[in-house]
Amino acid sequence: MVIELDVPNPLVNLKVLTYWPFVNSLLLLVVVMTGMFTGLYFIPQYLQNVQGMQAFDAGLVLLPASLVVLTMMPIAGRIYDAVGPRWPVTIGMLIAAYASYQLAQMNVETPRHFIELNLAIRNLGLGLSMMPIMTAGLAALPPTLSSAGSTMNNVMRQVISSVSVAALTGMNTDAAQQLLADRGALYSQGAQMLPQIAEYQAQGAGGMVGLYTMLTNEITTQTYANGFYLVAVMSLASVGLTLALRSGRPSMAKSAQTRGRRGLIRRGAGGHRGRSLGNAAPPLGAVSGSSRRRVVPDPGGLCRTTRPPSASTRSLTPSSPVPRAIAPPRPSSRTSTRSRSAPSASTMSAWTWTSEAAACLAALVSASDTA
C-alpha cells in the first residue's frame, strides 16, 4: 500500500479512501456481499448434505432468489434516480435482516418452500441495496478518481466474496467440532444412559451410525443457522451507515456547473480566434517556434487578416476601416441600369479581402527579394 501511494500511476489508487462517502459505501458493500455469498454457499451445502438433495434440485431452490436479484437491479437504479440512495438502501437492509433471521430458524426438517421464499425476500433487499450503494460511492468522488473508485469497488467485491465465505466456513467448522464434543458427552454410558441410546446400541453398529448421522446433521444445520444470525445482525447494524447516505434526488448542481464550464470554454475559444485575427504582425527578425524560420517583415500591416471573419468573429474584432489595394471593377457603360447599381455587401467583402491578399503577397515577395 505504501508503494501505491508513491508511484505516479498506481494499480489501485488509495486516494479514494480519503472520501468518507465512498468509504461508507465500501463498508455497506461488505455487508451486502457477505449476505449474498453466505446464502449462495450455505444453502446448497445444507440441501445436499443435510436433506440429501441432488445438485440440480438444490440449484432449482436457488433459482427464484437469483431471478429476484436480476429483476431488482434496474428497478433499484430507477429508484435511486428518483429518491436518492438513503431510503432504498435502508429498506433493503431491513428486509435482508428480517429474511436472514427467518433463515436462522431452519432445522433438519425445514421444508423447501420456506427456504425458497425467505431466500427470495432476502435477495429482494440485497438487490434493492447493491446498485444505490455503488452508485452513491462513485458519485461522491471527483471525476479524476472515478475510474479508481470503480476499480476499488471491483477489488472489494472479489475480496469480500472470498474472505466472507472462508471466514464463516472456518467459524462453522470450529463451532461444529465444539458442538459435537459437547453433545457427544451427553450420550453417556452406564446407569445414566438415555433410553434412546440404549435402543440404538441394541441395533448394533448400524444403529450407532444412524445416531451419529442424526447428530452431525443437527450440528451442521445449527452452524449454518448461526451464520445467518450473524448476517442478520450485520444487516441490522448497517442501518446506521445507511442513514449517512445522501437523501433526495441527485443534485443537478454538478451538471449545471459542467455546462457552465463548457460554455466558458467555447466562448474562450471563440474569443481567442477573434483576437488572433486582429493581432499585429510579429516583430522584425522574429523566429517562428514551430518551423524555426525567420519571419518576413510585413510592411504596412497588410497581412493582419487574410480572410473575411465569420459572423461570430466580427463581433469580437474591433471595427476599423480595411485598406483597399485593388478597387472593385466599375460597371461597363453598355450594361443595363440594373447592373450599374451598387454591388452587394458580399461582393464588396469578397473584393476587399481578395485585394488585401494580393497586396500582402506582393509585399512579402518584395521584402524577401530585398532580404
Q: For 235-284, how does the pLDDT look when each residue is reduced to its tens digit (9 = 90+)?
A: 999 999 999 888 877 664 354 444 444 444 444 444 444 444 444 444 44
Name which of 166-170, 221-225, 348-352 the model is least confident about.
Answer: 348-352
pLDDT confidence bin for 216, thresholds 50/70/90? confident
Cell 481567442, residue located = 272
Q: Is the pLDDT of residue 93 over 50?
A: yes
Model confidence pTM above 0.85: no
Residue with more model confidence, 83 or 260? 83
pLDDT (mean) for 40-66: 91
**7-16, 199-208, 229-238, 326-335: least confidently modelled range:** 326-335
Q: Beta-carbon neighbour count of residue 224 at 10 Å?
A: 24
Q: Report pLDDT for 98.
A: 95
pLDDT of amino acid 62: 92
| pLDDT band per the 50, 70, 90 thresholds, residue 67 | very high
Percent of the chain with pLDDT over 90: 34
Residue 190 binned pLDDT confidence (cut-offs 50, 70, 90): low
Judge whether residue 102 has pLDDT over 70.
Answer: yes
